[in-house]
Amino acid sequence: MFALEALKMLLKKPFTWKYPFEPIEVPEGFRGKPEYDEENCIGCGACAAVCPAEAITVTEDAKVVLTLSYADCTFCADCEKACQWDAITLSKEFELATLDKSQAIVQIEREKNVCEGCGGTISAVEQMDWIKEEISEIKDNIPADDLEAITKLCPECRRDKAAENIISEVYS
C-alpha cells in the first residue's frame, strides 16, 4: 500500500535532518536552559518561591546565591513569568547533556546586607535599594526608628527589638 508513497519519496530530498552535522533552528519562544541576567537580578528569590520542581535554591552565606539546577528544572517558565525584573529567561539552548548532574547548575551571586544585631542576612543589596525606593513615598508616615531598623536589622532582630520596646513601655 505504501509502494507508491515510497516511489514518491525517492524523488524528493531526504526527510532526515542533518543534525548534529548541521545546527538546527528552534522556534521563537522555545523553552530551553534558564539563564540569569547579571544586571537585572536583585536577588529577591521570587523564582525560587514559584518553582514547582524546587529547582532553585537560595543560600545566604557570604553572599546571597541563587542556584538553579537544570537537572531538576521542568522548563515550565513559571520563574520567567514570576520575575518582574526580567532577570531570568529561558534561552534557546537545548543540548544539555552532562556526565555529572551536580555540574548542571546556573548561579547568580548578589552582595548582601548584614544584620547589625545578629550578623545574619537582611537581604541582597539590590533588593534593599528597591525596598527603599518603594517606601520613599510613604516615608513620612513611618517612625524614623522603624525606618532605620528596616535597613539595618534582619526580620528576626526587628521582631525582638519591637518586643523589647513593648515590654519596656509596659513595665517602665
Partner 1 sequence: MLEGLKNLCRKKSPWLMHFNTGSCNGCDIEIIDALTPRYDAERFGAVLKGSPRHADVMLVTGPVTKQVKPRLKRVHAQMPEPKAVIAVGNCAATGGVFKGCYSIENGVDNVIPVAAYVHGCPPKPEAILFGAVTALNALFGD
Partner 2 sequence: MALKIPIGPQHPALKEPTNFSVELDGEEIVDAYVKPNYNHRGMERLAEEKTYPQVLVLYERICGICSQIHPQCFAQATEDALGIEVPERANYIRTIMCELERVHSHLLWAGVGAHELGFDTGLMYLWRDREAVMDILEMISGNRVNYKMNTIGGVRRDIDERKIPMLLEALDAYVPQVDLYANAFTKDPTLRARLEGSGILTRKEADELCVAGPTARASGRDVEVRRDDPYAAYEEVDFEVPVVDDGDIMARAVVRLLELYQSINILKQALKNIPEGPIQADIDEIPEGEGVGRIEAPRGEVIHYVRSDGSWYPERTKVRAPSYVNIPALIPMLIGDTVAEIPITVASIDPCWSCTARVAIVDTNKKTEKIMTFEEIRSHYG
Binding site for partner 1 (CB under 8 A): 15-17, 19-20, 24, 26, 52-54, 69-75, 94-99, 101, 104
Task: Answer with the entry of partner 2, partner 1, none that 70 interacts with (C-beta below 5 to 8 A by kind).
Answer: partner 1
Residue from the set 59, 74, 98, 165 that interacts with partner 2 by CB under 8 A: 74
Dist CA 47 CA 87 (whole Å):
10
The span from the first CA to the last CA of the chain, in angstroms, equals 98
Q: Can you spell out the DSSP letters for 17-41? A: --TTSS---PPTT---SEEE-TTT-
Least distance in Å: CB of 65 to partner 2?
23
Least distance in Å: CB of 70 to partner 1?
5
Q: What is the CA radius of gyration of the chain?
A: 25
Least distance in Å: CB of 28 to partner 2?
8
Tell me how far the alpha carbon of residue 48 is from its chain's centroid.
6
Residue 75 binding partner 2, by CB under 8 A: yes
Write the binding mask 116 to 135 for partner 2: x where contact by CB under 8 A, - elsewhere.
--------------------
Task: Answer with the entry of partner 2, partner 1, none that 141 interacts with (C-beta below 5 to 8 A by kind).
Answer: none
Dist CA 58 CA 50 (whole Å):
13
Write the binding mask 85 to 104 for partner 2: x where contact by CB under 8 A, - elsewhere.
-----x--------------
- Altogether, the residues listed in the chain come to a count of 172
How many other CB atoms are found less than 10 A from the CB of residue 124? Answer: 25
